[in-house]
Amino acid sequence: MRFETKAIHYGRSIDKSTSSVTMPIHLSTTFERAADGSYPNEFVYSRENNPNRQALEDCLTSLEDGYDCVTFASGMAAITSAIEALPSDKPRRVIMPNDMYFGIRSLLSETDIDAKFDIVIVDMTDLQEVEEAIKSAPTGLVWMETPSNPLLKVADIEAVAKLAQESGAYTVVDNTWATPVLQRPLTLGVDLSIHSVTKYLGGHSDLMIGAVVAKSDSPMLTNLRAWQHSKGAVPSPFDCWLALRGVQSLAPRMMTHCANATEVADFLKAHPNVEAVHYPGLSGHPGHHIAARQMSSFGSMLSFQVKGGQREAMAVAAKVQLFTRATSLGGTHSFLEHRASVEGSTTMAPPNLLRVSIGLEHVDDLKEDLSQALE
């Protein structure tokens, strides 16, 4: 099946008891054993598995062209598990990009993850720097985020994956911003593709789930499944049901998201009060050619720097009327946010930067709102 068909059909079947086309929500926490002690439907207890979760995992596996999928209660639970699931026979050294989701920076600074692992930060867009970091000491995991948050940096997935594999390290790509509609890390040689399903896969800002899709069976996957079951950070049946509903429209939504973002990026680039626009779809973006090679389109996330400083950027954010001033991304609404003030003193975001998630509104309305805010 092609992507759009898999998004609608994988993980789903007609309900045998009622013939309903839409899968019911299975709220039961426990499942009956047969007289001989077996579990005829392979469901035992909902922390271990649930029909809605199984359906979602099957669907996401197919969309990423993977081997298996493990879902968690949030994107951060998936991220944490993917780091901690590094097998014990692998070095505790983890290479990460210098531009990455602030939640990971908080994970490193506010929990014991940083103490348990040797975290090395590099410019993931500089292959020479990446290679030197990998070869300088035994490495267990190489983490990519592309396009990155919030500066939209683009890493060469295939090249970095090859360097990591030659050293025996696992590779991970946070594929949340691109989604499997635009980018398939596993087919480029990566071991694990991570998603905050909360964002584009769910698509409506009404659920919270994280997912890790594995390219093949491995000790890493075994640990992830054990972490899910034993540590218990599992998504609810209703959130899984919502995510599976959202995934059905993922492909057409992403096409509209991307088309809108391209127009908005071009508009912002030409505006006299905008200092810089970070969007890989622009020909002048440093990662444009790599993104064009490994992505089918350039996504709907962008950031731009307002001429002046934080005061001027905050003034633009205060004046928008159609954009919603809110954290998160990937929903039907367009969001705009001043990242530096959200992230605090440790932020890597420039003080005049606004991050934008382009939604599904009419693009002319979005441009008109930005135009009046920038005046």
Q: Can you say how many angstroms the Cα of residue 321 is from the centroid of all Cα atoms in its chain?
A: 27
The three-class DSSP label of residue 143 is strand
Active-site residue 101, yes or no? Answer: yes
Q: What three-state secondary structure class fits 179? A: helix
Contacts with 177 (C-beta within 8 Å, 6 or more apart), sequence order: 147, 149, 199, 200, 299, 301, 329
Phi-psi label, residue 299: left if phi above 0, alpha if psi -120 to 50, beta otherwise:
left
Beta strands in the chain (DSSP E): 68-72, 93-97, 118-122, 141-145, 170-174, 192-196, 210-214, 274-278, 301-306, 324-325, 335-337, 353-357
- Give the distance between the most distant pair of CA atoms in the chain: 75
Tell me the one-letter amino acid at 120. Answer: V
Residues 313 and 268: their CA atoms lie apart, in Å, by 14
CA distance 160 to 154: 12
200 by Cβ neighbours in 10 Å (0-12 / 13-18 / 19+) ranks as buried
Question: Which residues are paired to 30 by β-bridges?
Answer: 45
Active site residue 239: no
Cβ partners under 8 Å of residue 136, min gap 6: none
| Structure tokens that stand for 12 in this block | 């789903």
The one catalytic residue in 68, 93, 101, 239 is: 101
| CB contact at 8 A, 134 and 122 | no
C-alpha torsion sign, points 82, 84, 86, 87: negative
Nearest to 299 by CA among 129, 176, 198: 176
* Catalytic hit among 174, 191, 239, 369: 174
Cβ atoms of 65 and 186 within 8 Å: the answer is yes
Residue 217 catalytic?
no
Beta bridge pairs of residue 151: none
Question: Is 279 assigned a catalytic role?
Answer: no
Q: Which residues are catalytic?
A: 47, 101, 174, 199
